[in-house]
Chain A
Amino acid sequence: MLGVEGLTKSYTSPSRRVAVLRGVEFAVAAGEAVALVGESGCGKTTLLQIIAGLDKPDDGKVWLNTQEITALDDHAAADLRRTALGLVFQHYNLIASLTVADNVAFQARLSGREDTAWTASLMRALGLDGLEGRYPEQLSGGQQQRVAIGRTLAYRPSLILADEPTGNLDEDTSDAVLDLCLSLVRQTGCAFVMVTHAPRLAGRLDRRLRLSAGQVHSDAD
Chain B
Amino acid sequence: MPTDPIHMRWVLRALLSHWGRHKLQLAALMVGLAAATALWSGVQALNDQARQSYDAAAQRVSGLSFRMLVPTDPDAPISEGDFRTLRALGWPVSPIVDRRILIDGTSYRLMGIEPLTLPQNSDMHSVAPGAVDLLPFIEPPYQAVVSPQTARRLSGNTDLPPRVESTALADRFIIMDIGAALAMPDATGLTGLVVAADFDANTDRLPPNLRARIQLLEPLQSADIGALTDSFHLNLTAFGLLSFLVGLFIVYGAIGLSFEDRKPLFRTLRLCGVSARRLSAALIMELLGFAVCAAVVGMLGGALMASVLLPDLSLSLSGLYGADIGDSLRLRPLWWVAGAAISILGALGAAATALWRTHRMPVTHLHQPRAQHGAYARQFRWQAAAASGIALIGVGGLTLWPSLAGGFAAMAALLVASALVLPALLWPLVGGLARLASGPIARWFWSDARSQIGAMSLALMALLLALGASIGVGAMVNSFRITFDGFLDERLAAELYFIAASDRDGARLAEALHARSDVRAVLPDWRARARIGGWPVDVVAFADHATTRETWTLLAALATPWDRVQAGAVLVNEQLAHRFSLAPGDTVTLETETGLQSYTIAGVYADYGNTTGQIRGDVGVLAARFPRLSKAGFAVRTDTPAAVMAFLEQQGLDPARMIDQRQLKAFSKSVFEQTFVVTTALNALTLLVAGTALLTNLLTLSAQRLVSLAPLWAMGLTRRHLAVLDLAKTVCLALLTAVLAIPLGIGVAWLLVAVINVEAFGWRLPLGVYPADWVRLAAMVLITTLVAGLWPAWKLGRVTPARLAKVFADAR
Contacts and interface: CB of A to CB of B under 8 A. Distances in A.
B3 interface: yes
A133 interface: no
**Which of A52, A75, A110, A112 is most buried by chain B, counting CB atoms within 10 A of its CB?**
A110
A81 interface: yes
A111 B7 contact: yes
Contact of B6 (A55, A84, A95, A110): A110
A98 interface: yes
Interface string A43-64: 0000001001011000000001
B275 A110 contact: no
A80 B1 CA distance: 9
Nearest to B274: A78
Interface string B354-386: 000000001110000000000000000000000
A94 interface: yes
Nearest to B276: A74
User: Which 4 residue pairs are nearest across A and B when measured between Cβ atoms?
Assistant: A82-B273, A78-B275, A97-B17, A81-B273
A96 interface: yes
Interface string A84-97: 11010100011111
Contacts of B17: 95, 97-98, 102
B271 interface: yes
B14 interface: yes
Contacts of A15: none
A82 B265 contact: no
Contacts of A134: none
Contacts of B13: 98
Nearest to B261: A96
A140 to B, nearest CB: 12
Nearest to B17: A97
A65 B1 contact: yes
A124 interface: no
B595 interface: no
Contact of B273 (A94, A97, A107): A107
Grouping DSSP codes into helix (H, G, I), strand (E, B) and loop, the A interface class, with mixed when no group exceeds half, is mixed
Contact of B3 (A54, A74, A83, A151): A83
Interface in A121-161: 151
A75 B271 CA distance: 12
B277 interface: yes
B273 A78 contact: yes
A213 to B, nearest CB: 23
A107 B188 CA distance: 93
Given A67-B1, A82-B273, A110-B273, A97 B20 contact: yes
A81 B277 contact: no
16 contacts: A74-B275, A74-B276, A77-B275, A78-B274, A79-B3, A79-B273, A79-B275, A80-B3, A80-B273, A81-B273, A85-B273, A87-B272, A97-B17, A106-B10, A109-B10, A110-B274
Nearest to B272: A107
Interface string B12-42: 0110011011000000000000000000000
B267 A83 contact: no
A141 to B, nearest CB: 11
Contacts of B276: 74-75, 78
Nearest to B14: A95
A40 interface: no
**Which of B1, B5, B18, B265 is most buried by chain A, counting CB atoms within 10 A of its CB?**
B1
A81 B265 contact: no
B270 interface: yes
B60 to A, nearest CB: 60
A82 B274 contact: yes
Given A67-B1, A113-B4, A78 B270 contact: yes
Interface of B: 1, 3-7, 10-11, 13-14, 17-18, 20-21, 264-265, 267-268, 270-278, 362-364
Contacts of A112: 4-5, 7
Contacts, number: 98
Contacts of B267: 93
A110 B264 contact: no
B4 A111 contact: yes
Contacts of A95: 14, 17, 265, 268
A110 B272 contact: yes
Given A94-B268, A110-B6, A55 B278 contact: no
A112 B278 CA distance: 16
**Which of B10, B20, B21, B265 is most buried by chain A, counting CB atoms within 10 A of its CB?**
B10
A216 to B, nearest CB: 20
Given A110-B6, A111-B6, A83 B18 contact: no
A55 B364 contact: yes
A66 interface: yes
Nearest to A85: B273
A109 B13 CA distance: 11
A55 B366 CA distance: 13
B277 A74 contact: yes
B271 A87 contact: yes
**Which of A94, A97, A112 is most buried by chain B, counting CB atoms within 10 A of its CB?**
A97
B364 A83 contact: no
A82 B6 contact: yes
Contacts of A87: 271-272
Nearest to B273: A82
Nearest to A113: B4
A97 B7 CA distance: 19
**Which of B14, B264, B265, B272 is most buried by chain A, counting CB atoms within 10 A of its CB?**
B272
Given A95-B14, A106-B10, A75 B275 contact: yes
A28 to B, nearest CB: 17
Contacts of B4: 82-83, 111-113
A54 B363 contact: yes
A162 to B, nearest CB: 12
Nearest to B271: A87
Nearest to B275: A78
Contact of A96 (B3, B10, B21, B277): B21
B779 to A, nearest CB: 42
A97 B14 contact: yes
B1 A66 contact: yes
Given A80-B273, A83-B273, A97-B265, A106 B14 contact: yes
Contacts of B274: 78, 82, 110
Given A78-B278, A79-B273, A93 B7 contact: no
A64 B3 CA distance: 13
Nearest to B16: A97
Contacts of A79: 3, 6, 273, 275
Contact of A110 (B1, B10, B18): B10
B272 A106 contact: yes
A111 B4 CA distance: 6
A77 B18 CA distance: 26
A84 B10 CA distance: 18
Contacts of B270: 54, 78
A196 B295 CA distance: 52
**Which of B264, B270, B273, B278 is most buried by chain A, counting CB atoms within 10 A of its CB?**
B273
B20 A96 contact: no
A79 B267 CA distance: 15
A87 B271 CA distance: 7
A93 B270 CA distance: 11
Nearest to B22: A97
A81 B271 contact: yes
B275 A96 contact: no
A76 B271 CA distance: 13
Given A81-B271, A97-B18, 7 more contacts: A54-B270, A79-B275, A82-B272, A83-B4, A89-B271, A102-B17, A112-B5
A155 to B, nearest CB: 9
A84 B2 CA distance: 10
